[in-house]
Amino acid sequence: MQAQIQKWGNSLGVRIPRSLANKLHIKSGTTVNLEASEHQITIIPETSELDLLLNNITDNNCYHEVLDDNKMEGNESW
């Protein structure tokens, strides 16, 4: 996939196509790390540990609390 480098203020910028951004789960405001090596720039989205944990939540491993309003437990008085 090709993109064009463009002037952005005093810097240079590259636009990331929507299809690639969606695939990598990045959006406007996502913090990324840039790494430069010989003739190559790598853009790595920064993800927090919380983001990684939240991304792993599915319906199969999610706790679903069942509330029964008719069932009283303990010494509560309403």
CATH of domain 5-55: 2.10.260.10
Pair 6, 20: CB distance under 8 Å: no
Q: Is the pLDDT of residue 13 over 80?
A: yes
The domain locations on the chain are 5-55
Phi, psi of 54, deg, nearest 5: -65, -35
**According to the model, what pLDDT value does residue 71 have?**
65
Strands (E), the chain: 5-8, 11-14, 32-37, 40-45
Distances (CA, A) of 13 to 40, 42, 46, 67: 15, 14, 18, 52
pLDDT, tens digit, for every residue of 23-77?
888 889 888 999 999 999 999 888 778 877 888 888 888 877 776 666 666 666 6
pTM value? 0.53
Give every CB contact of residue 32 below 8 A, 6+ residues apart in sequence. Answer: 26, 43, 44, 45, 46
Spatial contact of 17 and 1, defined as CB atoms under 8 Å apart:
yes
Q: What is the pLDDT of residue 14?
A: 92
